[in-house]
Structures are given as structure tokens and as C-alpha cells.
Amino acid sequence: MNYQNSYVRLDPRLYHRQPPTPLDNPKAGHFNSAVAARLEWDKDETLMARWVEILGGQYVPEDFSPLSMAYAGHQFGQWAGQLGDGRGLLMAQVLDNTGKLQDLHLKGSGLTPYSRMGDGRAVLRSTIREYLCGHALNNVGIASSDALGFVVSETPVRRERMEQGAALMRVADCHIRLGHIEWIASFAPDLLAEFTDYMIDTYYPECRQAANPVAEFLTQVVTRTAHMIADWQLIGFAHGVMNTDNLSITGSTLDFGPFGFMERFNPSWINNHSDHTGRYSYQNQPAIGHWNMNVWLPHFMRLPNIDRSTLADCLEPYETAFMTRYQQGLCRKLGLPFSRDSMVLAFEWLTLMEDYNLDYTNSFRALIGLIYKELLADQTASDSYAHEQQLLQILLAELNTAGTEATTEWQGWQTRYLNAIKAASTAEAPVPSLTEIVESMATANPVYILRNGMAQTAIEQATSGDFAEVDRLYQLLSSPYQVQPIATPADTQPPAPDAPMLPISCSS
């Protein structure tokens, strides 16, 4: 691999150098060959032969420079002081085969000076959830960490009960969090200028061309964060713990704890059972992103040419960046051009899904079946979009069960929507054909997400030593926009309408 271990050359107050603490008898859980190829890990015979030992902390390649990072943060809106890598190590930094910097971060690697009351370990259930979630988000096109693989061990780890210790090699474009700057501002303010230069030169070098590079850097972080959260909203993803120490400066999803993918549409859904006030509910994520930026930016006033007016200018693009990305994305999911009329239809559709507790992912995909049935059935093969036609029938059955008001609302919306689709395909040239509209919708609306039930089944089987279901879900989520023969009915089955949405514990 092409090693670029630059973080270790920064001021040593920012980290603690140490090797991982080995797990007992680590065994392979799953290996991500696609990530290995991207890192060119697969070209090194030693790395390939000893990957289980590396992830288990038993072997550290000579080109690795393991360290735990110091950072701070606001947790649930309150200043939490010094935090840091309490169970993880930045093992190495490498350039992937596209020339992009990637961090290799071992999670579950043992105690560090920042462990506080923790044990430095991770358990198998949360490791599997993070492994599959990063893979799922990357393959639906959302900026996110991924993972090289994970191992399970005989090391006992106590959470609510005794569980199997595990470790995951997370791969991310950056592990610098908003909380790094909060730590520097509180504990080492003399490092702010140097560290800001490092962030710009390493992750935002194009900002050096701006008249005020720091201001441009801050604006880019704000914009990327807004885009990331818009992408979460569009796919129905809820992070669950949007503390400042869990957000990356590159606008890439990081730190999977009590996350979840929306099943039946409920904007006020809270997926973290510790979030008693709903601060990090699905619908609050855009506002929390803005709050985090507003807390983070003032620390840079210590630098030359950065004042309150400048910071206000840096923060100002957040709302527009979020709304534009989100609204354009909603229109793409509906197969409509971006316009005021399209947005009216989009928000009517969201309201209908919320009012009648419809499955978020399946309902968008069912619209493909609707267009086929009403507008394309005489132009294409009879088995075209069979899955989507089945989803449409399920949707119609649920609306019929909900009663006359539901079916009346659906019929009115359906008529307006199909008229808009026909207008979009017959407007002045150049215009997409109906077939092109449907094909585009199929690339904007996944067939498969990582449902809680899917993840739980894989975890239960893995706990018994069987990782076949982890592998099946890995394969399934590698191509989430395509109907696949390896799928089972459970992969697209939402919970019962009256079933509560499963909250997830922070314990991992």
C-alpha cells in the first residue's frame, strides 16, 4: 500500500502512540474484498495472509503507526470536555487506487488514555451493524466510512450481559471530527493555526486558491455537512447520535452507534433509546447539523481574518445547500423535474406516507410499478418491474385497509402525479421518455436497505459462529438498486403497521 502517515507527524499532544491490545484467539468474521482492492491491500501477500491477526491486534505491520486521537465534543447539546479514541486506533493512512487518502482505524483495539470508564472493546453485534451499514451507505451513494473487515474473538466483553469481543478495521477518508477543534480550543489553543493548515492542505487543498483559505475551508465543511444530511434524509437514514465528536470535517458519515434506516415513515422516529427528548430524531437531523456548525465555527475566530461577520458568511450557505440537495433529490425519486409544482406533489406524497404509516423505501419503489401499470404496460414486456408491481399491490392493499379516506387521497394524488409524469415526458425537447424516467427512478430509489430485522438475523446467526447471513447481506447490499435472486421476502418486509420501531442501544 501507498502509506501516507501524516497525522503522526503532528504535535504529540494531539494523540497517544500505542499498539493495540490483542484479542484472544481472533477468527475471521468477514473480509471486504472490494475495499481491499481499493486500498491495494490485496497486492501485499503478508497483509492478505495475516489480516485476521492484524484486525485482532496480534500483528502490527512495520509501516503502520498506531495512535489514539484526542478530541472533545458536545454530546446531546452539552459540553462533554475531553473525549478521544477510547477503543480505537488510527493504524495507518494510505492513498487508495484513486489517489485519495484513507484512514485505517481499528475499532475495539483495547484501552487508551481516552477510554474514561470504558473497557476499550467492541462487541460482535455492534461490529456487524457498523460493517453492514457502512457498506450499505456507500453502495447507495452516500459519503460514509466503510470497513476492510471484522474479526470475532474469545475475549469476553460485558455490556448488559457478557458478549463476544470483536474488532473492525474501519476505512474512512478522514477521522478528524468537529470535536478535534473543540479539544484544541480548550486544551491547546496554540495548535489551532497549525492544525487548520493541516486540515486544509490534507483534505481541502483547493481552498488555498481562495482569497481567504480558512473561510473557504469552513464554508466547504458547512456545505458538505448539509449535503450529507440531505442524503441521509432522502434515503431514510437516521444517525442517532449527531454529537460534535461524531461528525467528520469531510462531510462523510462516521461513527455508527444506534443508527437506523427508516421503515414505516415516521418523521419523528427516535432510533436511540437513550435519546429521551428526541434531539436526534430523523426530522431533527438537518437542524442539528446547523447547530453543530454554529457551535464549531466560533473557535476559528482566534485566527487572522476570521471575525463574526466572516463566520456568518461561512454558515449562511447551510440551509440553501441542504434544501436544494434535498428537494432536487426528492424530485429525482419521483421522476419529476425540479420545480415548485413537483415539490408540492413530493410533500403531498410524504404526508400521505406518514398519515397511513407506509413503508418509506417500498412506497417510493412502488411508484415505478404505478407508472408501468398506468402508462407503460402496453410498451414493455409483461414481466417488466414485477417486483415494483408487487410492491404497488401491497401499498394499495394497505391503503384499502386504512379506509375510504386513504384510498380517496391516494386516487387524487395518483392522478395528479401521473399527469405530471406524462407532462414531463411530453414537454419541449430535450425530454426524457417514460422509459427513461422509470430507469432514472430505479437509480434513485433502492430496492434494499439494511432493515433492523435483517441485521438482527445476521447477528443471531453470527453469534453461533455462522457468518453466511452476513455474507448474503453484504452481497445483497452491494447492488441495492437492483432486484436480486439472493433476496428473501424478509429483505423488503416492513414491520407490522402497529409494531413499534426498534430503538437501538448506544451500548457497543
User: Which positions are annotated as active-site residues?
Assistant: 245
Residues 6+ apart with CB under 8 A from 395: 358, 362, 363, 366
What is the C-alpha to C-alpha distance for residues 284 and 266, in angstroms, rounded to an integer? Answer: 12
For residue 167, give the nearest of 228, 87, 221, 74 by alpha carbon.
87
Query: Secondary structure of the chain: what % helix, strand, coil (to 5)?
Result: 50, 15, 35
What is the C-alpha to C-alpha distance for residues 91 and 473, in angstroms, rounded to an integer? Answer: 27
Side-chain-side CA neighbours of residue 383 (13 Å): 1
Question: Which three cell numbers, joined as nine digits, stand for 228?
Answer: 450529507
- Residue pair 255/147 in contact by the 8 Å Cβ criterion: no
What is the C-alpha to C-alpha distance for residues 220 and 208, in angstroms, rounded to an integer? Answer: 12
What are the angstrom distances between the C-alpha of 412 and each of 351, 389, 404, 417, 507?
13, 20, 12, 9, 46
DSSP 3-state of 506: coil
What is the C-alpha to C-alpha distance for residues 149 and 55, in angstroms, rounded to an integer? Answer: 8
Residue 350: count other Cβ atoms within 10 Å of its Cβ.
15
What is the C-alpha to C-alpha distance for residues 297 and 312, in angstroms, rounded to an integer? Answer: 9
Question: Which three cell numbers, joined as nine digits, stand for 115?
Answer: 477510554
| Residue-by-residue DSSP string for 262-275 | --B--TT---BTT-
DSSP 3-state of 26: coil
